[in-house]
Structure 1
Amino acid sequence: MAGPPVAVVTGAARGLGAAVAEALRANGRRVAGLDLRTCDGVDFSVEVDVTDAAAVAGAVARVERELGPVDELVTAAGIYEMAPIEEIDDARWERMLGVNLSGTATVCAAVLPGMVARGRGGVVTISSDLGVGGSEGDAHYAASKGAIVGLTRALATEVAGSGVSVNSVAPGAADTPMLEESSPWRAAEFLGTLPVQRLVRPDEIAAAALFLLEVGTAVSGQVVSPNAGATI
């Protein structure tokens, strides 16, 4: 008799990733957290840099030895900063795309072949509303998150018919530690433009990821945007 599904969540040490890990565990998954920090509240924690493809492959192999084959993946690891385009030097550009885009691709590459071989699985990437609509001062972040949407749709096409789905959650501004207290996204002027008058909660984003994992392969290559009504 098969045991509970095994899920990998990147960036699970805090913020959105921790919320996703909590939601998946509450809904019967055994969860492995991959992060630079130790992840609490998961079944297995691996400290790994998601930009290191070889290290990620090794981390996934450790998860599968400890918990079993990976059935689900949510790529919540990411970074954020604002900067005008003239201040985004090579180092800042490469760090943003390295963590957000390459860090998503490395984990997908490590888990998708096994899912396809077993004929089942679900992947949810975390992109951003800014990757779809853009915003002033967010060029490198928006570029990295927009590229995740393209990656998601390409992978969904690549694995179509295999029993594996690949979708993305593109949240609006979320109430996580990534968003500093001084951020303009926390300002009353911005919140007042939202129909619900507040930031998106991490548990709401986690619920969207859970839905995409549970809805099955009839939904693949899609983007769901929990964004407090910022884009309707």
Structure 2
Amino acid sequence: MSEQEDRPDVAVVTGAASGLGAATADALGTAGWRVAGFDLRPAPATALGVEVDVTDAAALAAAVDRVERELGPVGALVTAAGVYEILPVEEIDDARWHRMMAVNLSGTALTCAAVVPRMVARGRGAVVTVSSDLGVGGSQGDAHYAASKGAIVGLTRALATELAGTGVTVNTVAPGAADTAMLEDASPWRSPEFLATLPVQRLVRPEEIAAAALFLIGAGTAVSGQVLSPNAGATI
């Protein structure tokens, strides 16, 4: 039996109610996974929607308990929950900084902490975090966001190193600007001037980022600690 055929078929996706999380949950469901969607809002297009705050460690542990009780062992995790805003650095106050870090970075770390030990105990599993092209290259007006997403890259590589040999892989998808509701109509990333700089002349589609996540989930234990950037050619 191959590694792919022997996989558990339950996946957890955070931020599953909209955007990239919803696209990833849909792609996993189409591929045959039973998907549990974690979000502050209902995620109806999943086998099990759980309303949970990813910054709450106790609530996450209870949510994972529920998933494994109702659906079975978790074999894949995609941490797509996140927040975004553009602000010049002098306008980033303590509250905005801590919210960005709490949701994007701590939310990722806490979700991994709730799921990964179970995967390690079973000797198999795939984690895909969601960072950002901005966390790799930076950008004007995104200091707190870029810092949170860059830290996710570091977290991913550290976990991949720590878990090497356990049967659990940890990789990250670092998308470029994506065509989701997170980008307002007036966002500079939607401007004709920016789009003209991209080889494909358009934003990345959520389903393309979801496809990258599914690739990493199915890539096997030889692929871990990697950064895959579906970014419409913004960084080559």
TM-score, normalised by the number of residues in structure 2: 0.97
Amino acid at match of 2:119: M
* Residue of structure 1 in register with 2:26 after alignment: 22
In the alignment, structure 1 segments of 5+ residues that lack a partner are: none
CA-CA distance at 1:3 after TM superposition: 8.9
Residue pair 2:120, 2:166 contacting (<8 A) in 1 also: yes
CA-CA distance at 1:40 after TM superposition: 1.6
| Aligned partner (choices 219, 224, 230) of residue 226 of structure 1 | 230
Aligned equivalents of 2:221, 2:143: Cα separation in 1: 33
Equivalent residue pairs, number: 232
Percent identity (aligned)? 77
> Secondary structure at 2:220's aligned position in 1?
coil
User: Aligned runs of 1:68-87 on 2, under 5 Å?
Assistant: 68-87=72-91
Amino acid at match of 1:169: V
* Residue of structure 2 in register with 1:207 after alignment: 211
Residue pair 2:14, 2:21 contacting (<8 A) in 1 also: yes
Aligned equivalents of 1:96, 1:3: Cα separation in 2: 34
User: Aligned runs of 1:151-190 on 2, under 5 Å?
Assistant: 151-190=155-194
Q: Structure 1's 207 and 3: CA in aligned 2 closer, same or farther, altered over 3 A? A: closer
CA-CA distance at 1:183 after TM superposition: 0.2
Aligned equivalents of 1:73, 1:217: Cα separation in 2: 15
After superposition, give the CA deviation of every residue in 1:65-111 in whole Å (9 maximum; x if it has no partner).
Answer: 11011100000000000001110000000000000000000110001
Aligned equivalents of 2:22, 2:44: Cα separation in 1: 8
> Secondary structure at 1:166's aligned position in 2?
strand
Aligned equivalents of 1:195, 1:183: Cα separation in 2: 19
* Residue of structure 2 in register with 1:105 after alignment: 109
CA-CA distance at 1:193 after TM superposition: 0.1
Residue pair 1:72, 1:121 contacting (<8 A) in 2 also: yes
